Amino acid sequence: AQKVTQAQTEISVVEKEDVTLDCVYETRDTTYYLFWYKQPPSGELVFLIRRNSFDEQNEISGRYSWNFQKSTSSFNFTITASQVVDSAVYFCALSEAWGGSEKLVFGKGTKLTVNP
């Protein structure tokens, strides 16, 4: 069974601090996809990134970076020099590719508050 664990329920930082959001996943499949979504206070869910299980290269997009490690089943998300606008709930999600399953299984989310 698929499972995504985001152990950090809430994180509070001061602006300009770096912050890492943890995501640990469980799957029996060898082919799978991992995602991060952002849910700002306005409520919509915004797609941030998708990684497949064969690509363990870390990715950087501006102040955002992602560290995918299959050995520890983790897909962590780091925000460098955080800003108040980064305040949101961040969700990690998993989708298995075997059998054509297209379901996204979400973690419980981590609420990030960036204080000025």
Residue 37 identity (one-letter amino acid): Y
Q: Does 47 bind other proteins (CB under 8 A)?
A: yes
C-alpha of 97 from chain center: 18
C-alpha of 38 from chain center: 8
Question: C-alpha distances in angstroms, 93 versus 15, 56, 86, 106?
Answer: 26, 16, 19, 4
Q: Does 75 bind other proteins (CB under 8 A)?
A: no
Q: Does 97 bind other proteins (CB under 8 A)?
A: yes
Q: Does 95 bind other proteins (CB under 8 A)?
A: yes
Stretch that binds other proteins, among 19-27, 57-65, 77-85, 99-107 (CB under 8 A): 99-107
> Residues interacting with other proteins, by CB under 8 A?
33, 35, 37, 43-47, 50, 91, 95-97, 100, 102-109
